[in-house]
Chain A
Amino acid sequence: MQLQDMYQEIILDHYRNPHHKGLRDPYDAQVYHVNPTCGDEVTLRVSLKDVDGAAVVEDVSFESLGCSISQASASVMTDLVIGKPVDEAMRIGDAFLALMQSKGQLEPDEDVLEDAVAFAGVSKYPARVKCALLGWMAWKDATVQALTTRNDSEDGSEGRG
């Protein structure tokens, strides 16, 4: 039985008790993403802050409906990116994307991906890769939007949402 490979205990834990769930204010950008094949959806907010001229992820909050993989992956993602400089968080996102696209052929780097290494088994099931990436794609989209908004309003006085 391969089920335990895919549904590692850590995934089920995050599924039952997701971290950082619930939408919070303030935020710089909000996005709504869906997986059109199953109807899973996520609304996700990103708040950035400036630390010595570099953008840092201050908070990520989300509301979502979906399977255990998509819920747990979003939860793990928030743990990984909150408090990190955007550049570094994006690199972690890229590492997770590479893992998901590896069809089970990649040995994940636990130092980079931490709890997210638990999703390695999911990469063997192409139909579920989208589930694991739903939250990450939403976060990336929201972060890019937040960065754009910040750059646009750097010399203006536009308020936050």
Chain B
Amino acid sequence: MSLDVEAIRKDFPILSRTVRNDKPLVYLDSGATSQHPVQVLDAEREYYERHNAAAHRGTHLLGQEATEIYEGTRAKVAAFLGAASPSEVVFTKSATESINLVAFGLGFGGPAATSLKPGDEILITEMEHHANLVPWQQLALRTGATLKWFRELPDGRLDFDKSLVTPRTKIVAVTGQSNVTGVIPPLREIGELAHSVGALFLVDGAQLVPHHPVDVRELDADFLAFSGHKMLGPLGLGVLYGKYAALDALPPFLTGGSMIEVVRMEESTFLPPPAKFEPGVPAVSLAAGLGAAVDYLNALGMDNVAAHERALTEHALRALGEIDGVRVLGPLTTEDRGGTVAFEVAGVHAHDVGQVLDELGIAIRTGHHCAWPLHRTLGCQASNRASFYVYNTLEEIDALADGVRYARKFFRV
């Protein structure tokens, strides 16, 4: 493996704690939220100890330093993504808010050129996380537009049915990597097709950006949404990358202070992106942490991160696949597939598997993972999901497989 995992693990204080029954923590739930290295924790603490102030206002030194930290992270994120300019990076609360920001803008009504109308089409996939599904359902309700979706092939990969893209398609919004099956759809091809009919192309990158090198110039997405907390950063800070022209065309979402140009009692004008989308006092402590997280990932190298996770995924597919009664959801190879492995155990409900694993100190996700329609299609009511990151080891995956065997024994299946 291309990462020095032993050294990495020393950076993550939480990995040395014990959990139930004094078992060491085996954390296999990074798809839900990742853990944090000391570098990130220190950056947040140092911000509060030395620089805390409201960024973008005031004339004092602390305010200036806070602004520099906040805008410094914006520049780091822009470089991390290969964005043309830091102005293409908007900070939000979460990937969910980022997607809602775009969906709101496309249904704003009035004179906004971007507004959808009855007859327009929104195209998503059936494998979306609810965060990239429900906002589009709501947009369709508000505007009278029609919601359509790509389905899956029998192996769980995307059925790229090109006939779903029509001259009426206004936006194509797809996951960068399924949070259940790990499937990575053919993003470039989908984007090209979307653009060929003049539609916008949005990628839900919540599970993609933390785990793979992403270059937005290559991806050619108009929008890319993701969360800091799934990539070693603090909870509560999300990102919306947007091509500048695409951001500029959207009306503001949340409004108030900091995002205005001139305010009169009758009306207001707004700052250009990204400030247009960032009302209120900026969350600089979170930005300090995210900046440190980006530095950390850059030091590891995203190619190495992806290679490490591919090795873990390969091992997990093999180890789980060997167990009687275990069905892995989605592709059984690592080709175009990321490091989340969802599976069901015949005769043992996911909650019960999760409970047994918890007693062994192994943390996984159980349920439908906010992807209920996909589970329905896969004929699975609830599944178990192990997801990996830079600090996970092959031994932890072996512990998972042993735990699943133990769960089968415990429930006598």
Q: Which residues of A come within 8 Å of B, CB atoms?
A: 1-3, 6-7, 12, 37-40, 65-70, 125, 128, 131
Contact = CB atoms under 8 A, between A and B. Distances in A.
A59 to B, nearest CB: 26
B38 interface: no
Given A1-B21, A67-B351, A68-B352, A39 B411 contact: no
Contacts of A38: 350-351, 366-368, 382
Nearest to A65: B381
Bin the interface of chain B by size.
10 to 19
Given A38-B351, A38-B366, A66-B349, A2 B359 contact: yes
Given A2-B20, A3-B410, A66-B349, A39 B372 contact: yes
A12 B367 CA distance: 20
Interface of B: 20-21, 349-352, 355-356, 359, 366-368, 372, 375, 381-382, 410-411
A65 B376 CA distance: 13
Given A3-B356, A39-B367, A12 B351 contact: no
B382 to A, nearest CB: 5
Most buried by A among B375, B382, B411: B382
A40 to B, nearest CB: 7
Contacts of B356: 3
B83 to A, nearest CB: 36
Mostly, the B contact residues are helix
18 contacts: A1-B359, A3-B356, A7-B355, A7-B410, A37-B367, A38-B367, A39-B372, A39-B375, A40-B381, A66-B351, A67-B349, A67-B350, A67-B351, A67-B382, A68-B349, A69-B351, A69-B352, A128-B351
Contact of A2 (B21, B367, B372): B21
| Cβ-closest 9 pairs across A and B | A67-B351, A67-B349, A38-B367, A39-B368, A65-B381, A68-B352, A3-B359, A67-B352, A38-B382
Contacts of B350: 38, 67
B412 to A, nearest CB: 8
Nearest to B372: A39
Contacts of A39: 367-368, 372, 375, 381-382
Contacts of A131: 351
Nearest to A4: B410
Contacts of A2: 20-21, 359
A68 B410 CA distance: 12
Contact of B411 (A68, A69, A125): A68
A24 B351 CA distance: 28
A12 B349 CA distance: 12
Contacts of B366: 38
Given A7-B410, A69-B352, 7 more contacts: A3-B356, A3-B410, A7-B352, A7-B355, A40-B381, A65-B381, A66-B381
A38 B350 CA distance: 9
B94 to A, nearest CB: 18
B399 to A, nearest CB: 16
A66 to B, nearest CB: 6
A108 B355 CA distance: 23
A37 B381 CA distance: 12
A65 B366 CA distance: 15
A18 to B, nearest CB: 13
A39 B381 CA distance: 7
Contacts of B381: 39-40, 65-66
Contacts of A68: 349, 351-352, 411
A29 to B, nearest CB: 25
Contact of A12 (B20, B372, B375, B411): B411
Contacts of B375: 39
